[in-house]
A and B are shown apart, each in its own frame.
Chain A
């Protein structure tokens, strides 16, 4: 354990830990890594993520890889499983993670970020996942079911091996709809195509989503059309833009509309990972909207 917070300091002791790798296995197009990390497992709430250092003790790769947690289990004092797309990401750091073997050590910070908000009442929940991002929905499904919510899944991907968790979704969900672009599993098409039908059939009261940013944008828009709240995990955006995962580096910012109607550049890692879908200005990701607080002005405030 490398955490320096002392006992009684009121700090989250063990927020940074050295975790032992239990297994790394290939799951369809993705890799799933299970770490023994009791301090993370104990505090985890669905929707939170871990920030993993890559490259070992003397690494030259300083950016932490932020991965939403798929599952925590009580085995070995507490394990944490993450799912990531090593081949699709083309990232050597993620490749290093994929190359770990049992008993290797990985430096973990977590659990981090705001979790999914849970409904007070037993309502109908639609969980929408795309690609490896779907992994983040299964811990949520367990929690919702314990609260006697009905859990409906809608999972999508390019082809059958890109749809994570279809079998689990069918097993634990009150319903499960799968859609692939090539028709190799479930319906042919995209999540966007079937989303209105699934919302209606499931009589959804709330929509949760994790997956590619384009999918989150569609889910937020459709949910809003139906007058439903949406809770979306911007994991992919954080992976593409973030460096530290703990709110220090200020690189993972996206435009969010606040309660006061003002757009601010918020951090995906600390203001997310889960955000209200209707508050994210999806069309303005990767920009500073001109009406955002502190946006460059036409004259004077430049650069």
Chain B
């Protein structure tokens, strides 16, 4: 049996496969397909202070291996979330990560303060892609200063046993500097990455496809970008847990993120295509680790940084032995990979 348990700061998770914010609905929609307790954690849609209708339709465009969405952070607001959505999630025996967003520091802090009062909330994720009304609507996570301010405000009102994760978008000038600023401000972990800005134009109507004109690109199309971000940030901050997000569709995709330095992965757009993907990816990841004789997920976190380049002469790669009693089953795949 491969040990899939993982940690995000003080939070221990039974497995490393989470849902990504904004992609798992209220949880009830996914629960028609599988028991949410089979997830490492459920991340909510970003909760804001007041109800928000979001953007007009069309909100989504299909692009190669991805989707472009302009949602406008729709949601019921924190009151309704605490009254109806969170109590239901609390009964599902799954750690709940509440994603919080706001238009100002005060709004972020207010939502986080009210959400963290519930013992059902295991962690708070700070969506730094929300538009800052004091900065002409540009996102907080665009620069280290505003990003750190939000993280500090949320950390200050969140109970110590609930980690605060900062979720960052990749299309910034210097992601590592922003990540460092967030950790300095008290972030216990990082969620990498949010969507990146993109555009689709309908060749028939000759106009932008989305009502919001530009949108956020997600799905396997951004996986290499996400992987690069995780790799770079892990290299700079090896002690900071990272949730890898961006086009995770299979267990091998998840493994790539783990090897790059992620302690967990979150599945987003893939759920739209395959609502059963969460438990499937966890199972596939377990099989992939087992096939590589890696007995503990924790041993694989960041492993790509520690192994020498392939074909390197004169260096013996570190051997990872399975723990006693580990599953000795060898799949077709393992025969290929292991002599």
| Stretch of B65-73, B153-161, B189-197 on the interface side | B65-73
| Stretch of B50-58, B140-148, B177-185, B252-260 on the interface side | B50-58
- Given the interface pairs A62-B65, A64-B272, A303-B137, the reply to whether A248 lies near B29 with Cβ below 8 Å is yes
Q: How large is the interface on A (under 10, 10 to 19, 20 to 34, 35 or more residues)?
A: 35 or more
- Given the interface pairs A12-B32, A248-B29, the reply to whether A64 lies near B60 with Cβ below 8 Å is no
Report the tally of A-B residue pairs with Cβ distances under 8 A. Answer: 147
A303 to B129, CA, bound (A): 13
A4 to B32, CA, bound (A): 10
Determine if B24 is an interface residue (Cβ-Cβ < 8 Å): yes
A4 touches B74 (CB 8 A): no
Binary per-residue interface labels of chain B (5-49) against chain A in the complex, 1 for a CB within 8 Å, 0 otherwise: 000000000000000001111000111111100000000010000
Determine if A240 is an interface residue (Cβ-Cβ < 8 Å): yes
Report the minimal beta-carbon distance from B276 to chain A, rounded to whole angstroms.
5
A62 touches B30 (CB 8 A): no
Q: Which residues of A contact B269 (CB under 8 A)?
A: 62
Beta-carbon contacts under 8 Å, B207-237 to A: 211, 219-220
B137 touches A302 (CB 8 A): yes
B60 touches A249 (CB 8 A): yes
Determine if A286 is an interface residue (Cβ-Cβ < 8 Å): yes
Report the minimal beta-carbon distance from B217 to chain A, rounded to whole angstroms.
12
Q: Which residues of A contact B74 (CB under 8 A)?
A: 250, 253, 265, 294
Q: Which residue of B lies closest to A61 (CB)?
A: B62
A93 to B74, CA, bound (A): 28
Q: Which residue of B lies closest to A64 (CB)?
A: B273
Beta-carbon contacts under 8 Å, A47-68 to B: 53, 60-64
A152 to B50, CA, bound (A): 47
B275 touches A294 (CB 8 A): no
A243 to B66, CA, bound (A): 11
A53 to B62, CA, bound (A): 13
Determine if B133 is an interface residue (Cβ-Cβ < 8 Å): yes
Q: Which residues of A contact B60 (CB under 8 A)?
A: 63, 241-243, 249, 251
B72 touches A286 (CB 8 A): no
A118 to B71, CA, bound (A): 35
Q: Which residues of A contact B273 (CB under 8 A)?
A: 53, 62-64, 244
Q: Which of A11, A285, A288 contacts B31 (CB 8 A)?
A: A11
A251 to B51, CA, bound (A): 17
Binary per-residue interface labels of chain A (240-278) against chain B in the complex, 1 for a CB within 8 Å, 0 otherwise: 111110111111111000000000110000100000000
- Given the interface pairs A15-B32, A90-B204, the reply to whether A286 lies near B56 with Cβ below 8 Å is yes
Q: Which residue of B lies closest to A285 (CB)?
A: B57
Determine if B279 is an interface residue (Cβ-Cβ < 8 Å): yes
- Given the interface pairs A61-B62, A62-B269, the reply to whether A248 lies near B30 with Cβ below 8 Å is yes
Determine if A109 is an interface residue (Cβ-Cβ < 8 Å): yes
A270 to B69, CA, bound (A): 19
Q: Which residue of A lies closest to B131 (CB)?
A: A303
Determine if A214 is an interface residue (Cβ-Cβ < 8 Å): no
B52 touches A294 (CB 8 A): yes
Binary per-residue interface labels of chain A (90-103) against chain B in the complex, 1 for a CB within 8 Å, 0 otherwise: 10010000000000
Report the minimal beta-carbon distance from A227 to chain B, rounded to whole angstroms.
31
Q: Which residue of A lies closest to B212 (CB)?
A: A303
Q: Which residue of A lies closest to B31 (CB)?
A: A11
A233 to B276, CA, bound (A): 27
> Which of A64, A292, A294, A301: most chain B CB closer than 10 A?
A294
A296 to B65, CA, bound (A): 32
Q: Which residues of B contact A286 (CB under 8 A)?
A: 56-58, 211
A252 to B54, CA, bound (A): 12
A253 touches B272 (CB 8 A): no
B57 touches A16 (CB 8 A): no
> Which of B67, B270, B275: most chain A CB closer than 10 A?
B275
- A12-B33, A243-B62 are known contacts; what are 15 more A-B pairs with Cβ within 8 Å? A2-B276, A3-B276, A16-B33, A16-B275, A62-B67, A63-B62, A246-B275, A248-B29, A254-B57, A270-B29, A286-B57, A287-B56, A292-B53, A294-B53, A300-B103
The 3 closest A-B pairs by CB, nearest first: A294-B51, A244-B272, A60-B65
